[in-house]
Structure 1
Amino acid sequence: MELFGGLISGILTAVFTVGVVVAGVLVGGVVLVSRRRHRPERALEDQRTRAGVALVRADDAIQTADRELGFALAQFGERDTAEFRAALDQAAEDRREIFRLHGMLTDDPAPGLRQQERADRIVMLAGRIEAALGEQEQAFRRRRTAESGARERHSRLSERITAVRARLRDDEAAHQRDAERYTARALGAAATAPALAAAQLDTADAALARVADALAAAVPPPVAAELDSADVAVATAERLLDDRAATVARLDDVAAALTGLAADARVQRTEALEATDIAPDANTAAGITRAVVDVDAAIADAAAADARDPLPTLTRLRGALDALEVSLAAARSQAQRLSHAREALDAALATARIQLAEAEAAGRGRGAAGARARLEDARRELALAEREASTDPVAALDAARRAITHARDADVLARY
């Protein structure tokens, strides 16, 4: 009897032990599966973060190298900077590949080996850009420290300052006319460019004066830093004036596009009202009528708006015509669509160019990966629009509109 009771007790103990082990295995399995389930998402987020940091580093390295190449070109000429230019061209190719891979990494939500490979390649390309451009920059910095050419460099910088001051004087009347033709808001940074350029030239003059004093000493001290400072100031003044001229040219394009678009809008709203008679249904006809009302309001605003700030007016009129185009899609033939696209394309391209320029100015020297990626998308869509303009105006118009959207997004991301 005792033997039988012991046997029963042993069996119960074994069953209980097995149950505890099974329960532990089940709990451990659940925890392990849960951890493994979240691990790929964390890994993907880490990959995206790592790739974004690498993208920004590479983009900053190219911007810095581009400025350094400008200084080196002015100082040493085309022949001595050919290798630097080749390295920068290769870096630009790598940069385009980085942005392409970053877009794929951002748009594909599924973690996996392909995402890991994309992130690794972005990091590799960024490292290659930094290494190649850093080597070139170091080489030219070492050359600049050679004081033997300080007097010649001083002379060249003095000549550049004289040329830029002459340009300021020659353009003074034009700058005054531009300030009367366009508001400060329309001109943006270009409104203060002449004054800022003059201040940069004063800075360069002061630096060259210190260099001249140093070179007059019996044992001249190092002057490379002062010469670099003057070089940067002169280059900044030149860039300010170049950017201002480009801004005014874009505003002229916008003003001309607005005049043409307003005339085209009057024709289109009349044609649109006629199209209500052939609309396939009452809802389509009503949509066309509402769109015509919005176009009429935009035309009235264009007539009453301040001509010195044409971009907002052009934007609204273009938006009203785009809405009208959508409402006419069901009633318009393909030939009519092509005709409208050709007429609207110039205005859309002008808007896209100025929006892109504003986004580039806002993001110059700053902006995270998202802003730079949107800016790259805008550049790509604008290039597509310009390429397709003569062969497929409908596709070109769509690309121009996408460029405007991407440029606005880049501007907002860079500023905020």
Structure 2
Amino acid sequence: MQLFDGLVSIIVTGVGTVLVVAAAVLVGGIVVVSRRRARPQAAIDAVRRRAGSALVRADDRVDAAATDLDFALAQFGERETADYRAALSRAREDRAELFRLHRMLEDEPGARLRHRERADRIVMLADRIESSLDAEAARFRDRRTVESGASARARGLVERVTALRDAVRERARERDALREHFAEPALGAAATAPERAAALLDRADALAAEASAELAVAAASAVGPLLADAERLAHEAHELLALVPSTAARLDDALAALEALRADARTARTEALADLDEAPDAGTAAAITSAVAEIDAAIAATGADEARHPVPALDGIRAAMDQLEVALAASRTQAQRLAHAREAYAGARVSAQSQLAAARAALGRGGSAGARARLAEAEEELALAERSTDPVEALDAARRAITHARDAEVLARY
């Protein structure tokens, strides 16, 4: 009996040991597999970060080169800056390719090998953009040192800042007049543009004063960077001030588009009700009735308060008309669809321009690679809409521009 009990104990112990070993092997296998799975994902994330960093670097460099080219053009003229303009044009083409590759990284999460190849090309393009633009910038930086006296540049800078301060006061008055007719959100970045421009000019003044003090004790070449920074700040102030009249023009366009679209919406809902009896089925009739109700609500919402911020009101009517177009699709002719597209395009274009302006303001001089890529897509779609001779294609492109620009703004803010 004791022998039997011993044998049972040995068997139980052996089985237990086997189970423990099996469990350990199983757990170890799970850990190994999970680590193997984690490593590729971590590698993909690293590839995306590297590509995103290169995209941001290249995008910033192109923007900086555009500003620098403006300076060079003002100083040396069209002929002398031809090579710089050509280099910037090539850099913009490279940047467009860079954005295209970045979209492919986002759209094909499983393409691991191709991800690395695309990321490598993004980095290569970013390096090429930087090297070509840096070479042109250095060439003109050297020319400024040789051909432009520091004292004359300092005097010219003071005169430019003085003129821009006068412009600040004028643009502030224009901005205040806009505030009487439009809500603050409608003004976007223009709402605070004069104050931000004034702050930039204060910094430019400080750098100019520092440069003048240095001129008394140092060589002229030593103050070049100070003057260049001050000139750049003055240029940024000029661009900020330009937001006020451009926003005023855009809001006037929005009001005109709102009035025209409101009239088109009334006509469309009247025609839809007249065609209601000829609807091919009860479902279509119900959809038309619902869409007409949406148009009525959108028109009713565009009172005096909405006129103070016309773009959302414009979007509301446009969305209601789109819903009616879908409801009537089964019974409308091609000519009617083209007519609707022509009517809706003007409002969609204004909405896209407004949303692009909001996205650019949200990005400022920063923003993630994703936000910049969406903004680039929005700009491409709006350009396509403006080039297109097909009203349906133009309307669709304008709608896509609005969507991409909204995505860019959200990504930039959050």
Same fold (TM over 0.5): yes
Q: Distance in 2 between matches of 1:376 and 1:180?
A: 34
Question: What's the counterpart of residue 267 of structure 1?
Answer: 267
Report the residue type matching 1:87 in the other structure.
Answer: A
CA 1:204–1:256: 2 relative to 1, 3 Å: same
Q: Distance in 1 between matches of 2:149 and 2:59?
A: 32
Question: What's the counterpart of residue 407 of structure 1?
Answer: 405
Question: What's the counterpart of residue 392 of structure 2?
Answer: 394
Q: Distance in 2 between matches of 1:355 and 1:148?
A: 41
Corresponding position: 1:283 with 2:283 = yes
CA 1:153–1:218: 2 relative to 1, 3 Å: closer
Question: What's the counterpart of residue 384 of structure 1?
Answer: 384
Contact 1:147 1:224 in 2 (8 A): no
Question: What's the counterpart of residue 313 of structure 2?
Answer: 313
Q: Shift of the alpha carbon at 1:101?
A: 1.4
Q: Distance in 2 between matches of 1:53 and 1:112?
A: 18
Gap regions ≥5 residues in structure 1: 1-22
Question: What's the counterpart of residue 64 of structure 1?
Answer: 64
Contact 2:171 2:244 in 1 (8 A): no
Q: Shift of the alpha carbon at 1:274?
A: 1.8
Q: Shift of the alpha carbon at 1:96?
A: 0.5
Contact 1:214 1:221 in 2 (8 A): no
Deviations 1:248-282 (A, max 9, x none): 21111111111111111111111111222111111
Contact 2:150 2:220 in 1 (8 A): no
RMSD, aligned α-carbons = 3.0
Q: Distance in 1 between matches of 2:211 and 2:32?
A: 70
Question: What's the counterpart of residue 19 of structure 2?
Answer: none
Q: Distance in 1 between matches of 2:39 and 2:220?
A: 63
Deviations 1:282-338 (A, max 9, x none): 111111111111110110111243422111211212111112222221222211111
Q: Shift of the alpha carbon at 1:225?
A: 3.9
- Between 302-311 and 393-402, report the one with greater CA deviation: 302-311
Q: Distance in 1 between matches of 2:45 and 2:235?
A: 41
CA 1:107–1:143: 2 relative to 1, 3 Å: same
Deviations 1:345-396 (A, max 9, x none): 00000100110111012112111111111111111111111111xx211111
- Between 311-320 and 191-200, report the one with greater CA deviation: 191-200
Q: Secondary structure at the match of 2:81?
A: helix
Q: Secondary structure at the match of 2:365?
A: coil
- Between 402-411 and 357-366, report the one with greater CA deviation: 357-366
Q: Distance in 2 between matches of 1:30 and 1:218?
A: 69
- Between 113-122 and 97-106, report the one with greater CA deviation: 113-122
Q: Distance in 2 between matches of 1:218 and 1:354?
A: 49
Q: Distance in 2 between matches of 1:312 and 1:219?
A: 57
Question: What's the counterpart of residue 179 of structure 2?
Answer: 179
Contact 2:189 2:358 in 1 (8 A): no
**Matching of residues 4-403 of structure 1 within 5 Å:** 42-111=42-111, 113-144=113-144, 149-168=149-168, 174-215=174-215, 222-388=222-388, 391-403=389-401
CA 1:290–1:214: 2 relative to 1, 3 Å: same
CA 1:165–1:116: 2 relative to 1, 3 Å: closer
Q: Distance in 1 between matches of 2:145 and 2:223?
A: 8
Report the residue type matching 1:356 in the other structure.
Answer: L
Contact 1:44 1:111 in 2 (8 A): no
CA 1:219–1:373: 2 relative to 1, 3 Å: closer
Q: Distance in 1 between matches of 2:179 and 2:381?
A: 32
Report the residue type matching 1:338 in the other structure.
Answer: L
CA 1:189–1:35: 2 relative to 1, 3 Å: closer
Q: Secondary structure at the match of 1:223?
A: helix
CA 1:362–1:171: 2 relative to 1, 3 Å: closer
Q: Distance in 1 between matches of 2:138 and 2:173?
A: 43
- Between 274-283 and 208-217, report the one with greater CA deviation: 208-217
Q: Distance in 2 between matches of 1:29 and 1:171?
A: 69
- Between 308-317 and 28-37, report the one with greater CA deviation: 28-37
Contact 1:40 1:111 in 2 (8 A): no
Q: Shift of the alpha carbon at 1:87?
A: 1.9
Q: Distance in 2 between matches of 1:171 and 1:365?
A: 22
Q: Shift of the alpha carbon at 1:153?
A: 1.2
Q: Distance in 1 between matches of 2:209 and 2:43?
A: 57
Q: Distance in 1 between matches of 2:365 and 2:171?
A: 28
Q: Shift of the alpha carbon at 1:119?
A: 2.2
- Between 27-36 and 313-322, report the one with greater CA deviation: 27-36
